Amino acid sequence: MAMGGAESKEADRQLRSASLNGVILPSSMELFFDPSWSKFKLHLLHSFSEPVYTFNLPEGWWGSLILHGGPTVDHPLLAAVRNTGESGTGNLVTLPPLGPGQEVLKEKMSRRRKGWMEIWSFAVPVPVPDRAGEEKVTATTTTTTTTRVERFEWVSTRGKEVKDLHEWGRGWKLRRVATTYPDAHADKGWDEDDEDDDEGDAAAYEYEELHADNEVLAVWADAKGLKSRKAAKFEFVNSGATGELGEAWALMAVVSFVRVWQRYMQIIVV
């Protein structure tokens, strides 16, 4: 299934009837590829169990990414990412509605570089903690919970979090960036296929120092080798592992991880 005009509308229609209820993502997962490499399917496994979810790349490495809510492509759609922008290198993620009668969630993943540091950013609604006196001016109310939009970013790293995965020494960490609505959308001016930043490595160190205290919520790294068909390992950590950020956030974290992995595979297989 391609994700052009009519097909994209059909995917949106299917996702509109999908639900975040029942989405259960293990705290630790491994991404495996089809042994032939020609079928362009990826499987999320919990340790060495049967696949939990399946990603389909119907147009090959350079096309859309579709997540099915089960171990085969015969299961209903659960999320989709399609190319956007004139160059086709932008990334628009579509998730099921937060609640009955609502529209599907759509969010662009933004990419930029700070010296050696790669950054992929997105915003997504998360539940607002039910604390007395907490300000909820920027919140939106659904039939089940109150949410607010926060911004998160995947950042390339060689830190301890990635090394604890026992895969490649270099990987990615997902951290909280902004917890208020205006700040969450502060980078909407970025191009979805932004060119590399030419500020040099000093900009990377300065940016990392600025966000050094931000909570890390998930990590992933490429597998050490391809003999086992394992492509990468992913793990929720800290607040990301408790479920308190909600199903939409957890699903977005996993989908964005696989999309970033797909984008870098495009460079390798050229």
In whole angstroms, what is the distance from residue 120 CA to residue 90 CA? 11
Helix, strand and coil content of the chain, in percent to the nearest 5, comes to 20, 35, 45
DSSP 8-state symbol, 68: E
Q: What sign does the CA torsion over 40, 43, 48, 49 have?
A: negative
Q: How far apart are CA 226 and CA 30, in angstroms?
A: 13
Asked if residues 261 and 172 have their Cβ atoms less than 8 Å apart, the reply is no
pLDDT at 191: 44
Q: What's the pLDDT score for residue 50?
A: 77
- C-alpha 36/C-alpha 39 separation (Å) is 7
How many CB atoms lie under 10 A from the CB of residue 84?
A: 15
Neighbours of 254 (CB within 10 A): 24
Helices (H) and strands (E) counted in the chain, each on its own, are 5, 13
CA distance 93 to 112: 17
Tokens of 142: 């659904």
Contact assessment for residue 178 and residue 186, using Cβ atoms and an 8 Å cutoff: yes
* Bridge partner list, 156: 172
The reported pLDDT for the residue numbered 11 is: 79
Q: Which residues of 86-111 are buried (b: 16+ CB within 10 A; e: fewer)?
A: eeebbbbbbbbbbeeeeebbebbbbb
Q: Strands 105-114, 77-84: parallel, antiparallel or unpaired by DSSP?
A: unpaired
Asked whether 37 and 120 are in contact (CB, 8 A), the reply is no
The rounded distance, in Å, linking the Cα atoms of 145 and 131 is: 13
pLDDT of residue 126: 95
Instruction: Give the per-residue pLDDT at 2.
Output: 42
In the chain, where the domains are located: 5-269
Helix H, strand E, coil C: the string for 145-185 is: CEEEEEEEEEEEECCHHHHCCCCCCCEEEEEEEECCHHHHC
Ordered per-residue pLDDT tens for the chain, 270 residues: 445 555 666 777 899 999 998 888 999 999 998 767 667 889 999 866 778 999 999 888 889 999 999 999 899 999 999 999 888 888 999 999 998 889 999 999 999 887 767 899 999 999 987 764 344 434 444 445 788 999 999 998 888 888 889 888 789 999 999 766 555 554 544 444 444 455 666 665 566 656 667 899 999 999 886 667 889 999 999 999 999 999 999 999 999 999 999 998 888 775
